Structure formats: C-alpha cells, structure tokens
Amino acid sequence: MPRRLLVLFSTACLVALVVWLTLELSGGGLDRNDKIASVVSMYAAIGALGLSAVALWRQAIATGERSPETAAPGPGRLDELTRRLADAVRAQWKGELGVHGVTARRALPVAWTTVGGHGLDGGGDEIGEVFARVDSRRLVVLGPPGAGKSVLCWRLALDLLDAGGPVPVVLSARSWNPRTQDLGGWVAAELAAHPVFAIDGEPAAAALMRAGRILPVVDGFDELSRDLRADAVARLNEMYDGGLVLTSRRGEYAEAVTASAPIADAAVIALDRLSVADIAAHLPGRGWARVLADEAVAAALARPLMVALAETVHAGGRDPAGLLDAAAGASGAVEARRRVENLLLDAFIPAAYAGHRDPRWSAGEVRRWFAGLAVKMGRTDTADMRWWRLATVIPQWVHGLAVAGTVIASGLLVAGVGAWAGRWTEAGVHVWFWSMTTLSLAAGICTGVVTALGQGLAPVPARPRIRLGGHLWRLPDFRRENLLSWRPYLWIGTWVATGAVGGIVGLASGGEQSMIGAGVFGGLLLGVAVWAIACLVHSLNVPVDPGEAASPVALLRVDRGAVLGQGLLAGLCGAVVIGPVVWLEFDVFYGFAVVDAGLLLVLTLVALPCVVVAWALVFSAWGPWRVAHTWAALRGDLPWRAMAFFTDAHERGVLRQTGGVYQFRHARLQERLAENYR
C-alpha cells in the first residue's frame, strides 16, 4: 500500500508541475532561452517520474502486493456475487420463455424416457424434480433438432433457482475448445465479462466455480466440431467432478462417448416425440383433426419447434389444409415430412410480420435481409448473429476509405481553424497550414491503407476498466510487444516525415536552416508520444464476452460508451503533449505565432470530437459496425434502424437472445433461409 500511495503522490506532483510551468510560460515572464530550458526540464521530469512510477508499481507487484484485479473476493463478496448472478439468470430466461410463449398454461407436454437404469422418466414441468433425484447432479439430455432441449434447459434453470443451490449458467458449447480449456476454466472465462463480475473479474468467477456455486449447463454439445467432441468428454471425465447438464443430438453424443467414454456418473434422458393428442390439444381450431390424421403431417409436427411454427403460421383460424398438399406429392415418408417442415419454415416469417403490429418492415424485405445474414453466418460456420462481425464481411476498402477520409478531414479542419484563430506571421501561417495538411494526408493514407488490409478491426466489443492497479504495470510489456510490429515504425515515420516537410516549408518561406531539424525533432517527439498514449488508453480495454452481456443493444452501448470515453481521454492526453510542442516549435523557437492558452484551447475543442471519431473507427467495434451498417443499408442488405429491427424480430419470436448475441429461433430456420437466398 505505501508504494501505491507513493506512485499516486508522484503523479499528483507531476500534474502540478505541468500546470505551473504552463501558467508561467504562457504568462510571458521568461525569455526565450529560459523557456527552452524549462520545456526541456519539464519533459525530463515527465520521463523520470513516469519511469519511477512504473518501476515502483512493478516492484509492488513482484513483492506480493497484488492488484485488485488479481485478488479473489472474500466469502461475503462471493455471497453477493452469487445472489446477483442468480437474479440476472432468472430475469434472462423468464424473459426468453415469455418471448417464445412458453408459459405454465401454454407449454407443450414434452416427455422423456431414461436411457439406462436411473428411472427418471417424466414430462412437463417435472424436470426440476427429476434432476433432484440424480445423486451425481449430472444429467445428459438427448433429442433430435427442434425437440425442445434448449427450452427444457431454460425451464430447468428457473426450477433450480427457485430451489436454491448452485446457480445454473446456460452456455453454448460452440465457444468451448476442450483442447485448451477445462470446463471450469472455460466457464470462468465466459462469466468474467458478465456485468455481475465487472469489478471482480475472472478470479471471482473461478472462485465461484471452485466453491461449487455454479452449475454449468452446456447447451448444444453436438455443435462442437466432430474432432473436439471426444476431447470434451475426456476433459469432463478427467478434470471435472461437479454437477453438470449437457444437451446434444443423440447420434453425435453416441459417437463421442464411443470414441472416448460415457460421461462419468451422468444420468441420460431422451426426449420423446409429441403424440397426436398433445399436438391437437395445443392446436385447436378448424381443420386440424383432418390434417393430423395424415401420418406424414403428424410426424412432421411431432416436435415442439414445428408445433410452434404451425401455431404462428395458422394463427387467426387459417386453414392448415396446405400441409396436406405439401405432403401429398412426396415419394416417401421422409420427403413428406421434409416438405411439411419446409412449408412451415417458409411461411413463418411472413406470418410473424403479418399486421398485428406496426409494419415498419415488409415480410419480403425481412425475408431477404435475414436470408442474406443466414448465408453470411453459414460461410463462417456460426449460429451467432454478432453485430460487430458485420464489419468483416463488407469490402475492407470501404472501412479503410472511411478511416482515411475522417483523419484527413479532421486534420484539415484543425489546420483551418488554427490558421484563422491564431496570431500568425505571414510565413508562420503558411508553415502551419501546409504542415498540418501534409500530416493529415500522410496519416489518413497510412491509417486507411492499414485498415483496408484488415489490420485495424477490433475483434470484440470492449468496456473500459480505468484502474491503474490492473493495467499500469503491464504497459511496458504492452509496448515491448508492439515494438515487434511494423505499425509503430510506420506511424512514427509518418510524423517524422511530416515534421521534415514542415521544416522545408518554413525554410522555403524565408526561415532558418535549422527548421528542418526542428521539424524532425517535433515529429519524432509527437509520434512517440501519440503512440504511447494510444497504447496506454487502448490497454485499458477489457473485452466483453458477448455470451455474457445483458443484450446485444446493451453490448453496443457498452462499447460505444467505452470508445467515447477513451477517445476523450486520448484527446486530452494528446493535447497535454502536443500543445507544448506546438508552442515550442511555432512560438519559442521561430516566433511564427503567439501561441497562448486561448489558441491551444480552441485547437483542443476542435480536435477532441475529431479524435473521438477517429478512435471509434480504428480502436473499437462500434465504429466499424457503423461503417458496415451504413454500407449494408445503402445496398439494401439491412434496414437503417438495424438494432431496432433485430430487437423487434426477437420480440416476434424470429430470433432468440443468448446474452449479447442474437440467434435464429432454430438452426433449421437459419438453414432454410440460406437455402432460399437469391
């Protein structure tokens, strides 16, 4: 603790020194040589104090004074985190069941039979009671596509929350790589970015796992790639002995346990097909008795997904006789069932968008938009509709052009305002304007080209965690890692070249020969300083796991808030560094202008929004999303109000929400939309 106080005290002294020198220098009380000496002393003090602070902080870490981010919370804090996580999980799955119309009165009577000798046959709302009879607290749920495995997990999660005990956390198996993570590590990593763990981070999530306060519910085991399934089963058997719920298609699970071994001590149940009586009870109305008498139609509707689609498609008493027509021309039972399913899948979106709400989007537009998304998702083998990934499927030159245009326009704006607001000599205004123009063009072209090559897109949304204890001591490692890349050298070289061009312009305007050297020095200083500021601010990012955010809209707001705050921070830090250099080069050294506090304030106010926009386009997920969304909307691939469109689709039951991402209601719907894309 004393070392941390020493670092904070040193930082406060540094800030006070900078403020005092700025006031003294802007007041004109010092002559030219004194000003130069003061500036050099100020930068030396900044460097010395900065290095001392980092060294002290690293020593504190090395001697065991752990930062808050690495310290595991105590028992009282774990109790609070458990309660908050339980409340968040309950709210999520209650809302999702409500969206899909699964209530106590309207729920289909899904039944299951035991695979093996555990005697767990049951159905309906008995899943919580059945799980309580499993001594090992390990349950495998098998069933075909659309059989209701995911919904059963949601209902089980709510039952377990009502009963107390470990918090059931439903996670998509698709994000697990069992070759690099055991189950506990994967669950902790997935939970680390949940808003509940915003302060305590992954150590707290890992502590909850070790304490047995979390029950992992691994949904969609069959969605793991084929070569990973046996490894996943082996990981579960070798490195995890706690409670577990796992869902899978029957064939994929059987193949995995044959190649490895059955999950130790796990009870296995298989979901049954719906009976004709159950279907008829859920689909009352004209014509259903005759339709369900057809064996092929009854077989197609024997899964809860198809019953739910049929209910939506034939709402309002629409005659279901078209299902008989679809089955009539089939050459066999399998083809007949497939035709009936395809008819319901094709009719679902038009029915979901039929006039019971404000028709902001036509069914034809919706179908085309979703079909295009389904094709793109199929190409990347994903079921997650991640808004930030849209930036990776548009032409990269579009994003590069947006970045280049923003940087160039921002630089020209600052150059023009500075030339207008400052008190310049005739030569000085030329040096200023053409130096800034050269810098704008060079920086814009470089950043645009780098971005167009795919080097500038943020992989996931992030939130800021402005805590020096968790990040300041890592900054030297972050810098050293970046020194192995070509990007800092390109960036610093651009500033040095621009400074040289500014010196040449000054020389051509009747200035001194030393202007070229001064320009190179200023460019080098600014290039290094701006790169260091970018590294520092960017290192404060903490990636947000999309599976653990409250909603896709909330995830977008988190990233947008992060980039606005970080852009402002970067701009203010840049002003602290760039302002004295501008004053030194254009006022103290060569007398091109009277660079007072008023001019620096005007330039800062103009530059800040420009820095925020440029930062958003280069360092965030939200900026590229805005560019990609605008491009897609101009091409007619998405509506202009895309997030409102996705939220509305979720409310209509077309999409389902898993944390911070949307998914199609079922993989069969996604596959069918992709098949029909034109």
pLDDT of residue 67: 40
Residues in the chain: 678
d(CA 489, CA 88): 46
Q: Hey, which of 8-17, 446-455, 508-517 has the most confident mean pLDDT?
A: 446-455
| Residue 287 phi, psi dihedral angles, 5° rounding | 95, -10
Integer Cα distance of 601 and 349 in angstroms: 55
Please name the helix (run of DSSP H) or strand (run of DSSP E) that holds residue 31, with its range, or none.
Answer: none
Most confident of 16-20, 171-175, 211-215: 211-215
Dihedral pair phi/psi, residue 662, rounded to 5°: -100, 155
Q: H or E element: which one contains 35? A: helix 32-62
Mind listing the pLDDT tens digit for each residue in 137-153?
Answer: 899 999 888 888 888 88
Q: How far apart are CA 535 and CA 482, in angstroms?
A: 9
pTM above 0.85, yes or no: no
When pLDDT is averaged across residues 486-504 and rounded to a whole number, the result is 70
For residues 193 and 350, the model is more confident at 350
- Using the predicted structure, report yes or no on whether residue 599 has a pLDDT greater than 50: yes
Neighbours of 116 (CB within 10 A): 12
Alpha carbons 18 and 48: distance in angstroms, whole number: 14
Q: Cβ atoms within 10 A of the Cβ of 294, count?
A: 17
Tell me what pLDDT residue 107 has.
67
pLDDT at 510 (0 to 100): 59
14 close to 67: Cβ distance less than 8 angstroms: no
Amino acid at the residue 275: S
d(CA 322, CA 325): 5
Nearest Cα neighbor of 146 from 296, 256, 217, 249 is 249
Q: Which of 367, 390, 368 is nearest to 643 (CA)?
A: 390
What does the block give as tokens for 522?
């200023």
HEC profile for 489-542? Answer: HHHHHHHHHHHHHHHHHHHHCCCCCHHHHHHHHHHHHHHHHHHHHHHHHHHCEE
Mean pLDDT to the nearest integer, 273-287: 80
Q: What are the tens digits of pLDDT across the range 294-320?
A: 888 888 888 888 888 888 888 777 788
The CA-CA-CA angle for residues 472, 478, 483, to 5°, reads: 140
Work out the pLDDT band at 93, boundaries 50, 70, 90. confident
What is the C-alpha end-to-end distance of the chain, expressed in Å?
64
| H or E segment and range at residue 245 | strand 244-248
Between CA 301 and CA 308 the distance in angstroms is: 9
Spatial distance between the Cα atoms of 664 and 32, rounded to a whole number of angstroms = 69
75-271 falls under which CATH superfamily? P-loop containing nucleotide triphosphate hydrolases (3.40.50.300)
3-state SS of 185-239 is HHHHHHHCCCHHHCCCHHHHHHHHHHCCCEEEEEECHHHCCHHHHHHHHHHHHHH
419 touches 433 (CB < 8 A): yes
Q: Is the pLDDT of residue 370 over 60?
A: yes
What is residue 142's three-state secondary structure?
strand
| Alpha-carbon distance values, 260 to 219, 257, 561, 640 (Å) | 20, 5, 46, 49
Contacts from 228-232 at CB under 8 Å and sequence distance 24+? 228/177, 228/178, 228/179, 229/253, 229/255, 229/256, 229/259, 230/256, 230/259, 230/260, 231/178, 231/179, 231/260, 232/173, 232/176, 232/178, 232/256
Beta carbons of 84 and 216 less than 8 angstroms apart: no
- The C-alpha angle with vertex 61 and arms to 55 and 62, in degrees rounded to 5, equals 85
Higher pLDDT, 537 or 609: 609
Task: Give CA separation, 333 vs 145, 296, 297, 310, 329, in Å.
Answer: 18, 6, 9, 19, 11
Running DSSP on this structure, what letter comes out for residue 661? E
Q: What is the pLDDT of residues 18-62, one digit of tens each?
A: 544 444 444 444 454 444 444 444 444 444 444 444 444 444 434
What is the DSSP-derived secondary structure letter of residue 385? B
Query: For residue 569, what pLDDT band results from cuts at 50, 70 and 90?
Result: confident
Can you read off the two tokens belonging to residue 621?
């997920």
Tell me how far apart the alpha carbons of residues 516 and 496 are, in angstroms, rounded to a whole number: 10
| Cβ proximity of 552 and 643 under 8 Å | yes
Q: What is the pLDDT of residue 194?
A: 62
Rounded to an integer, the average pLDDT of 80-94 is 81
Gyration radius (Cα) of the chain, Å: 31
- Whether the per-residue pLDDT at 494 is higher than 50: the answer is yes
For the residues 122-129, what does the mean pLDDT come to?
83
- Residues 533-554: what's their mean pLDDT? 60
d(CA 128, CA 140): 14
Tell whether the model's pLDDT for residue 374 goes beyond 70: yes
Closest C-alpha among 242, 243, 221, 241 to residue 232: 221
In the prediction, which pLDDT does 409 show? 92
* Helix ranges, 540-675 (H): 552-583, 597-619, 622-635, 642-651, 667-675
- Whether the predicted pLDDT of 353 surpasses 70: yes
Q: Tell me how far CA of residue 251 lies from CA of 222, 233, 254, 504, in angstroms.
A: 9, 15, 5, 74
Handedness of CA 367, 373, 377, 380 (dihedral sign): positive
In 3D space, the residue among 485, 486, 514 whose CA is nearest the CA of residue 499 turns out to be: 514
> 218 pLDDT exceeds 60?
yes
How does pLDDT run across 625-672, given as a tens digit for each residue? 888 899 989 988 889 888 889 988 888 888 887 767 788 888 888 888
**Would the pLDDT of 588 be above 50?**
yes
Measured CA to CA, the distance from residue 417 to residue 422 in angstroms comes to 8
Give the chain's mean pLDDT: 75
Angle of helix 487-508 versus helix 426-452 axis, rounded to 10:
160
Q: Output phi, psi for 581, to 5 deg.
A: -70, -45
Phi/psi at 425 (5° precision): -80, 170
As given in the structure block, the two tokens for residue 575 are 């002003």
Q: How many CA atoms lie within 13 A of 213 on its CB side?
A: 20
User: Which residues, other chains included, contact 136 with Cβ-Cβ below 8 Å and sequence gap of 6+?
Assistant: 243, 265, 266, 267
CA dihedral sign, ordered 119, 124, 127, 128: negative
Measured in whole angstroms, how far is the alpha carbon of residue 331 from the centre of its chain?
47
Percentage, residues of the chain above pLDDT 90: 3
CA distance 94 to 394: 36
Token pair for residue 39?
């500036």
DSSP-derived letter for residue 548 is G
What is the C-alpha separation between 479 and 481, in angstroms, rounded? 5
Cite the beta strand spans of 429-481 per DSSP E.
Answer: 462-464
Q: Is the pLDDT of residue 8 over 70?
A: no
Q: Which residues contact 277 (CB under 8 A, 6 or more apart)?
A: none
pLDDT digits (tens, 9 = 90+) for 386-436: 777 777 778 888 888 998 999 899 989 988 898 888 888 887 788 788 878
Helix (H) or strand (E) holding 123: strand 122-123
Q: What percent of the chain has pLDDT over 70?
A: 73
Confidence of residue 70 (pLDDT cuts 50, 70, 90): very low
What is the structure's pLDDT at 413? 92
